[in-house]
Amino acid sequence: MSVSTNDLKNGMTLDLAEGLFTVVEFQHVKPGKGGAFVRTKLKNVRTGSVVDRTYRADEKLEQAIIEKREMQFLYRDGDDYVFMDTTSYEQLQMPRTALGDAAHYLKESDGVYLQMYGSDVVGVDLPAAVELTVTETEPGVQGDRVSGARKPATLETGLVVQVPLFVNPGESIRVDTRTGEYLTRA
């Protein structure tokens, strides 16, 4: 589907020759002399890199329609992650690399929204915070209450986060999926 550069919106996804890009920012510029143009900041959906591009006003670009499918993470099969569509019960197997950082926050039976472009997964929508169990950390010591002091803890998904000294192995904690930081005990 073609879209004019005059109709760009933040969050819109474009299918360019270099891959899929999301519009982060755009600005219409109308100089005194010469034709108007549109200055954009685009983020590569796969790599996360940001590029600046300038287009003529009313230039046609290809818009990518991203479909969000509600899926449930079932289990890991080697390096692959197996998901099930909650509507059609169809299963989808994908490599860990396609999930990016989202793999650190997924545990079995979690629900997520996968962003699909055709049959390719281009992104994962996670909740703002997830509950994960601490599998390994040094045990807290009585009286060890230094304000703001932190220690590393390994979680059930393999993610390592800094937690307060009072957190012990076996406890569930809430982790912010945007920053990867400890929020609170669950």
All domains of the chain, ordered by start, with CATH? 2-62 (2.30.30.30), 67-125 (2.40.50.140), 129-185 (2.40.50.140)
Sequence-ordered list of residues with C-beta below 8 angstroms from that of 124, at least 6 positions apart, any chain: 99, 100, 102, 112, 113, 114, 115
State CA 126 to chain mean position distance.
Answer: 7
Q: How far apart are CA 145 and CA 33, in angstroms?
A: 66
Task: Give SS3 for 5.
Answer: helix
Rg (CA), the chain: 22
- H-type helices in 28-173, by residue range? 96-99
Rounding to the nearest 10 degrees, give the CA dihedral for residues 93, 99, 105, 111: -50
More confident residue, 143 or 44: 44
What percentage of residues in the chain have a pLDDT greater than 90? 30
Q: Is it the case that residue 39 has pLDDT exceeding 80?
A: yes
Residues whose CB falls within 8 Å of the CB of residue 100, separated by 6 or more in sequence, listed in order = 48, 124
Query: Minimum mean pLDDT among 86-100, 105-119, 130-144, 151-165: which range?
Result: 130-144
Confidence of residue 147 (pLDDT cuts 50, 70, 90): low
Residue 149 has which token pair?
Answer: 């002091």
Whether 139 shows a pLDDT value over 80: the answer reads no
**Cross-strand partners of 101:** none
Over residues 163-183, the mean pLDDT reads: 89
pLDDT of 2 reads 87
